[in-house]
Structure 1
């Protein structure tokens, strides 16, 4: 069987979801998967970015990270998304990219992709779960197979107990209230492993 291919796709304004994506990519590689770490393009105007020094600093610090393309979606057997909450929903940058994938969807090229998602917000009840579920709604339309962490590992409890996907509270840039690294890594390994099972089943048939 050929190696499972995992695209870790993130959007981050001040660095939290970039850090989670890096952890996820490291963990997915440990399963033997071929992994791409790619970012969703920034579409906010400079006036918005410059209003937050941490946002501008992160944009500059990650300028060499490749931007996700539709080819990455087609290439991967599994997607791991890490995205922040925006008013209880996915950021506009994420929605804008997803909306460009209609051609792949129409060709059936998103069917049976294995997907999992993570999120963050400033407040404990700031919409982390809703953001993940909003993304999963799109994934159901894509015909993808959603793989949530559930409570399958103790790390989920230490990270705050979000069964839909690891999430973290970030009151200030760089400050994570919960210890989520192990939960992120468990979720990534679980996603890559399930993708291996799905791929093996497809190749067997």
Structure 2
């Protein structure tokens, strides 16, 4: 399989999406991909962050994770985006990153890449699928190739989301089955990107 570049770009307030992103990075690496794990900038005001001790602590704990930039999108053959749900939509922090990509889109530099998404919500029916579908709207505009996990691995029948890996944060940290689902999704993304890259060559 051709080596491909996979960027995993995520926003995490209290650590759930960070854990899923790490699992996705591992899965992509297992598929032979070069991986960049990147967090988007925190845009919430300090008083809001500091009002939640777990939020503030996670921000400190992940200070060494490189911040996402447009160069990561240009470098990547495939991109997985991770975000918590916010009323059935991606978090504003991730949207701010995406909304600044207009110049790249206008030049066609985001087209023909593989895209996928994963998420978490506080409750079992808190908008996980609609959040992933909302991100897909962006991928359509970019001219991307959307690759969901589907039910392409036995773990998907246990994790239950063919749209993208997802977790109910109110139940605690992601369990092993959820992490396996995130890893499978990233492997599938990397493998698909490799096939496309080889075919184009």
With structure 2 as the length reference, what TM-score do the two structures score? 0.96
Tell me how far apart the structure 2 counterparts of residues 39 and 177 of structure 1 sit (CA, whole Å): 22
The alpha carbon displacement at 1:30 in A equals 1.1
Tell me how far apart the structure 2 counterparts of residues 34 and 196 of structure 1 sit (CA, whole Å): 11
Q: Which residue is equivalent to 1:186? A: 184
Q: Which residue is equivalent to 1:87? A: 87
The alpha carbon displacement at 1:177 in A equals 6.9
Q: Which residue is equivalent to 1:100? A: 100
Tell me how far apart the structure 1 counterparts of residues 177 and 52 of structure 2 sit (CA, whole Å): 25
State the Cα deviation string for residues 154-202 of structure 1 (Å, max 9, x = none).
Answer: 111211x111101110116x43478301111110100000000111111
State the Cα deviation string for residues 122-142 of structure 1 (Å, max 9, x = none).
Answer: 000000100000001100100
Matches within 5 A, 1:46-125: 46-125=46-125
After superposition, the Cα gap between the structure-2 partners of 1:131 and 1:178, relative to the gap in structure 1 and judged at 3 Å, is farther
SS of 2:90's equivalent in the other structure is: coil
The question of whether the paired residues in 2 share the 8 Å contact of 1:171 and 1:177 is answered with no
Consecutive unaligned residues of structure 1, counting only runs of 5 or more, are: none
Q: 1:175 aligns with which of 170, 173, 176?
A: 173
Tell me how far apart the structure 2 counterparts of residues 166 and 24 of structure 1 sit (CA, whole Å): 9
Tell me how far apart the structure 2 counterparts of residues 82 and 142 of structure 1 sit (CA, whole Å): 17
The question of whether the paired residues in 2 share the 8 Å contact of 1:169 and 1:178 is answered with no
1:162 and 2:153 aligned = no
The alpha carbon displacement at 1:82 in A equals 1.3
Over the aligned positions, Cα root-mean-square deviation in angstroms equals 1.4
Aligned residues: 201
1:196 and 2:194 aligned = yes
Consecutive unaligned residues of structure 2, counting only runs of 5 or more, are: none
With structure 1 as the length reference, what TM-score do the two structures score? 0.95
The alpha carbon displacement at 1:2 in A equals 5.8
Tell me how far apart the structure 2 counterparts of residues 200 and 170 of structure 1 sit (CA, whole Å): 38
Which aligned runs of 4 or more in structure 1 are off by greater than 4 angstroms? Answer: none
SS of 1:36's equivalent in the other structure is: strand
Tell me how far apart the structure 1 counterparts of residues 175 and 51 of structure 2 sit (CA, whole Å): 24
Tell me how far apart the structure 2 counterparts of residues 202 and 16 of structure 1 sit (CA, whole Å): 36
Q: Which structure is richer in relative contact order (CA contacts within 8 A, separation 6 or more)? A: 2
SS of 1:85's equivalent in the other structure is: strand
